[in-house]
Amino acid sequence: MKPRPEASRLKDKEPAGFQGQQAPALWQQLAAVAQGLQAIVAGQSSRSVLDQVPERLRPGVQALLFQVLRQLGRARALQKQLAPRTPPPHVSALLCTALALSWDEEQAPYPPFTLVNQAVEAAKRGPAKAQAGFVNACLRRFLRERQALVDATQADPEALWNHPAWWVARLRKDHGEHWRRILQAGNAQPPMTLRINARKTTLAQYQQALAAIDIEAIAVMDTGLQLARALPVQELPGFAQGLVSVQDAAAQMAAPLLLEGMAWPEGRPLRVLDACAAPGGKTAHLLELAGQRPMEVWALEIDAERARRIHGTLERLGLEAKVLVADASQPGQWFDTHCAGQLFDAILLDAPCSASGIVRRQPDVRWLRRESDLTQLARIQAQLLDGLWPLLQPEGRLLYCTCSVFKVEGQDQLQAFLNRNSEARTLPAPGHLIQGLADKAHGVADNRAGDHDGFFYALLHKKR
């Protein structure tokens, strides 16, 4: 039977050179997805899981796995209806894979009975072989009673919203009337958004380059383009030459917010610290916006492997910064040694957080994160703010941001910092950016931001 449109999109993502070869069987992809799901449930990230998938299978497996993760709450609830006793992990992962992909026929990448048939085939050929009959019985019953089973799960908040129950409850508390929209946005497919390198091209010029390869794009922000459809970065015109980078519209607000209205010092470069810099997108954006004005940027990253990614980003874009592998919360270990004890004019702190605002891009996060993690992350954020604030020049500014929609990592964190520091005052900034709301009345800094991730921004000025 002809595959659904989503299945066709999966085929479009096959690696270069694959066309003309025999496509992998659907059961193979489902088996790989189930194996990946089992690993994620056990605590691995989707990135590490996908790195282990054979390159030939990876594009299709990633697309299917992300769809499964976005529908996992419903799949788990349906599995409880079909199998009250929790089956072994590998069996549960395969059942949830099939149920997540097939419960909603409109979103199913293939007809539900095709998915069920291929899931049973995967069971017969894999570690669930001994339970293949059980898998078959559960999924055949699902096909017979699908609507009744779905109706029976409607009262389960995890099934209804496909987020953990604690996540749903916290958003209801934090964001009142907008909590439903945030959850819906977290289950949507994100757009691909680009940031043009203003040193090398313009929005109009790059739009023309995209149009030449039949890619439509709309302008978002001052340097952003949102694509009508995603494509591999290798196919972006001039990507290798540094004309463009991939960066969500919300993240593109950071560098302009920090630099807008700043007076450049006379006789020396503007000194800027990007405190948690990997993979280097915001570092690069700062340098791009500086243009011909002198700027020295220190890009700090605690993880050596991630710091190497900053070097790669800067090299591709033809930019230079001083990259340090160090803990931003412990300036005594690096500030005097590497920065000669000279205070910064501006500091960008994109702090470690729950990543709850980018869950549509990293759908595994919602199932890996625990509510208790928020307390630990808030403590780290406070340590970073307190450690970096003394490194800022009087009359300097610090931009605090997180890709989180939880207030404990945003507004609450800001208020606690202001309570501890009488010399700090706030400058205009978006606050909490809510996905799906594109107007200033709801906290979005610029209604040209388009379809953006969830973020929090606070801009702090240091009084003399």
Q: Mind listing the pLDDT tens digit for each residue in 279-293? A: 999 999 999 999 999
Please state the rounded mean pLDDT for residues 377-387: 98
Whole-number pLDDT of residue 23:
78
Same domain, 276 and 232: no
Tokens representing 271 are 């000194």
One domain, residues 209 and 311: no
pLDDT on residue 437: 59
Range of lowest pLDDT (48-52, 235-239, 431-435, 451-455): 431-435
Distance between CA 90 and CA 94 in Å, rounded?
6
Check pLDDT > 80 for residue 19.
no
DSSP three-state, residue 56: coil
Give me the pLDDT at residue 177, please: 85
- Residue 76 pLDDT > 90: yes
Which pTM value belongs to this model?
Answer: 0.90
Domain contains 135 = yes
Confidence (pLDDT) at 166: 98
The answer as to whether 167 is a domain residue is no
Mean pLDDT of 69-84: 97
Do residues 284 and 152 share a domain? no
- What per-residue confidence (pLDDT) applies to 331? 96
Residue 432's CB: how many other CB atoms inside 10 A? 26
Q: What are the tens digits of pLDDT across the range 405-458?
A: 999 999 999 999 999 999 999 999 999 998 765 544 334 444 556 789 999 999
One domain for residues 442 and 422: yes
Tell whether 55 and 201 lie within a shared domain.
no
pLDDT, averaged across the chain: 92
**Predicted pLDDT of residue 10:** 40
Same domain, 122 and 204: no
Its domain, for residue 280, covers: 251-462
The 10 Å Cβ neighbour count of residue 95 is 27
Residue 211 lies in a domain: yes
Phi first, then psi, for residue 244 (nearest 5°) are -155, 155
Looking at 206, 228, 246, the residue that finishes a domain is: 246
**Cα–Cα distance measured from residue 367 to residue 370, given in angstroms and rounded to the nearest whole number:** 8
Whether 177 is in a domain gets the answer no
Cα–Cα nearest to 416, from 357, 464, 455, 375? 375
pLDDT given at position 449: 65
| Domain CATH code at residue 231 | 3.30.70.1170
- CATH code of the domain covering residue 111: 1.10.940.10
Q: Which of 140, 162, 184 is the last residue of a domain?
A: 162
Of 332 and 449, the structure prediction assigns the larger pLDDT to: 332
Asked whether residue 348 is domain-assigned, the answer is yes
Asked whether residue 261 falls in the same domain as residue 242, the answer is no
In a domain, 171, yes or no: no
pLDDT of 4 strictly over 50: no
pLDDT digits (tens, 9 = 90+) for 164-197: 999 999 999 999 889 999 999 999 999 999 999 9
- Is residue 17 over pLDDT 80? no
Residue 439 is predicted with a pLDDT of 43
137 falls within a domain: yes
| CA distances in angstroms from 205 to 211, 288, 291, listed in the order given | 10, 17, 18
Question: Is the domain of 276 the same as that of 410?
Answer: yes
Instruction: Indicate if 437 and 337 belong to the same structural domain.
Output: yes
- Summarize the confidence of residues 214-219 as an average pLDDT: 94
450 φ, ψ (degrees, to nearest 5): 65, -145
The pLDDT value recorded for residue 434 is 85
Pinpoint the alpha helices (H) of 301-359: 304-317, 335-339
Q: In this structure, what CATH number is given to the domain that contains residue 436?
A: 3.40.50.150
Are both 204 and 148 inside the same structural domain?
Answer: no
pLDDT surpassing 90 at residue 271 = yes
Task: Please tell me which residue in 96, 339, 401, 403 is annotated as part of the active site.
Answer: 403
Active site residue 353: no
For residue 125, which amino acid is it?
R
What whole-number distance in Å separates Cα of residue 50 and Cα of residue 366? 17
The C-alpha atoms of residue 108 and residue 4 are separated, in whole angstroms, by 7
Residue 273 has pLDDT above 80, yes or no: yes
User: Which residues lie closer than 8 Å to 107 by C-beta, 6 or more apart?
Assistant: 6, 67, 71
Mean predicted confidence (pLDDT) in 15-22: 43
pLDDT tens-place string over residues 34-47: 999 999 999 999 99
39 shares its domain with 80: yes
Residue with token string 């810099």: 277
In this prediction, residues 343-369 reach a mean pLDDT of 97
The structural domain count of the chain equals 3
Last residue of a domain, one of 211, 246, 281: 246
Same domain, 63 and 144: yes
Considering the domain boundaries, does residue 255 fall inside one? yes
**The dihedral formed by the CA atoms of 338, 340, 343 and 348, expressed in degrees to the nearest 10:** -10
